[in-house]
Amino acid sequence: MPTIKEIAKTCKVSVATVSNVINHKGNVSKETRERILQIINELEYTPNLVAKNLKTRNTRSIGVLAEDMTVFAIPDIIDGITERCEKDDYQILLVNMRLYKKFADSYYQNNDYKKIVHKELKKLQSKQVEGIIYIAAHERLINVIPDDIKIPTAVAYGFTDKKEIPSIVVDDMNATIQLIGHLIENGHRKIGVIAGKKDSLHTLARLEGYQRALFEGNILYDLSLICYGDWDRQSGYKYTDIMLEKGVTAIFCMNDFIAGGACDRLDELGIKVGKDIAVVGYDNREMASYEKPPLTTMGLPLHDIGYCAGDVIIHMLEKKENPSENGIYYINCIPYYRESVNKIEIDV
C-alpha cells in the first residue's frame, strides 16, 4: 500500500500538496492536481484513515452497542441508525455483545453483564467514537451506563434514569389507546387482556393505554379481565379459556405469539376469530399476517427508533445539546387492521 509520501515522491511534489489535492483544498494549479490525481489512480493509493483520524482528532464515527443482534427488534433499529448516519456521513462501529447467546434471557441479572458492557464501552471510547448508542433487546431500565461517561450517549429501546442519556422508546401507551379504541369503535365493550410478564415495562405501558381507552369509551375497568402470561403462544392458549368464562367479546393479546395461541384455542373450540370473537395482537411479527384469519396488530416502530436515536446523537454531537425536555422520545407505532376483529351491532 503506497503512502502519501510515495505519491509525493513519484509526482515530485511535497506531501502537503498531495494532501491538499486529496482534501480538495485550493492552492494547487490545475496541472499538478491532475498529475497527482493520475498517479493516485495508477498506484491505487488509499489514504490511511487511521493516520488521518489521529491527526485530525476525530473519527466521525458512532459506536453502537447491541445487546444481541439476533433478537428480532435489533436489526431494524440498527438499520434506522444506519440510514440516519449515512445522511451526515457518520460511520457506525457496531458491537454485538451476544448477551442472549451467552446468558439466555436473564442476562441483565447476570454478574458479568455489567462488566461486559463497561469493557465494550471503554473499548469504543478507545477507538475514539464520538457518540454511543446502546440498543436494548427489550424495553427496560438501562442503568449500566456510567454516569460520568465522557461522550454523548443514548439508549434505543430502553429507558434511562437521567436525561443526559436520552432514551428512545415505543409509544406503547398511545398505541394501545388506538388499538383498544379500534375495538370499542367496533362495538366491543367487554375486552379481556392476556398481558405479558407482570413486571415488563411494555406490559405496564400497554395496560395503562388499555385503561385510558376504556375510560374514554366510558367502559368500567374490570381487573378480573386481565391475565398475565409469558409472551408465548402457550400463554395465549391457556388463558383463552379464562377469557371465555368471563364472557369477553374481544381479547387484547400483548404480542402476536399470545394472539396466535389464543386463536389456536378458539379454533379448537370452534369459535371463529373475526366473526364470533375479536383477537388483536401486538408487534406485527411476520407470522401475524399468516394467522387464520390474519391478525390485527400494532407494528413496532423499530426502524424509526433507530433513526431517531441516530438523530439525537448527531444533534448532541453538532449542537452540543440534547433537544428533548425530559430526555425521553416516544415513537409512534403503526396499526395493521386485518380480519381478526369483528363488528358488533349495538342494540339500542
Partner DNA sequence: TTGTAAGCGTTATCAT
Partner DNA sequence: ATGATAACGCTTACAA
Q: Which of residues 255-274 bind its own copies (CB under 8 A)?
A: 260, 264
Residue 107 one-letter amino acid = Y
Contact positions with DNA (CB under 7 A) in 48-107: 48, 51-52, 54-57
Burial of 63 (C-beta count, 10 Å sphere; 0-12/13-18/19+)? buried
Residue 23 in grid coordinates: 482534501
Least distance from C-beta 214 to its own copies, angstroms?
A: 31
Nearest distance, CB of residue 44 and DNA, angstroms: 12
In this structure, are residues 76 and 303 in contact, taking their beta carbons and an 8 Å threshold? Answer: yes
DSSP letters spanning 196-215: S-TT-HHHHHHHHHHHHHHH
How many other C-beta atoms can be found within 10 angstroms of the C-beta atom of residue 153? 22
Amino acid letter, residue 321: E
What values do phi and psi take at 238, rounded to 5? -65, -50
CB nearer to its own copies: pick between 198 and 292: 292
The number of C-alpha atoms within 13 Å of 268 and in the hemisphere containing its C-beta is: 10
As a whole number of angstroms, the distance between CA 80 and CA 102 comes to 26
Instruction: Please identify, using beta-carbon distances, which residue of 33 and 212 lies nearer to DNA.
Output: 33
By a kind-dependent CB cut-off of 5 to 8 A, residue 28 interacts, out of DNA, its own copies, none, with DNA
- Residue among 38 and 70 whose Cβ is closer to its own copies: 70
Partners of residue 153 on adjacent β-strands: 132
| Contact partner, 98, from its own copies, DNA, none, Cβ < 5-8 Å per class | its own copies
Q: Is 10 in the site for its own copies (CB under 8 A)?
A: no
Per rule CB under 7 A, count of chain residues that contact DNA: 30
Contact 298, 335 (CB under 8 A): yes
Count the site residues for its own copies by CB under 8 A. 42
Q: Is 1 in the site for its own copies (CB under 8 A)?
A: yes
By CB under 8 A, residue 290 contacts its own copies: yes
Q: Which residues bind DNA (CB under 7 A)?
A: 3-5, 12-17, 19-20, 22-23, 26-29, 31-33, 45-48, 51-52, 54-57
Q: Which residues bind its own copies (CB under 8 A)?
A: 1, 46-51, 53-54, 59, 69-70, 74-76, 78-79, 82-83, 86, 92-96, 98, 101, 122-123, 125-128, 150, 233, 260, 264, 285-287, 290, 292
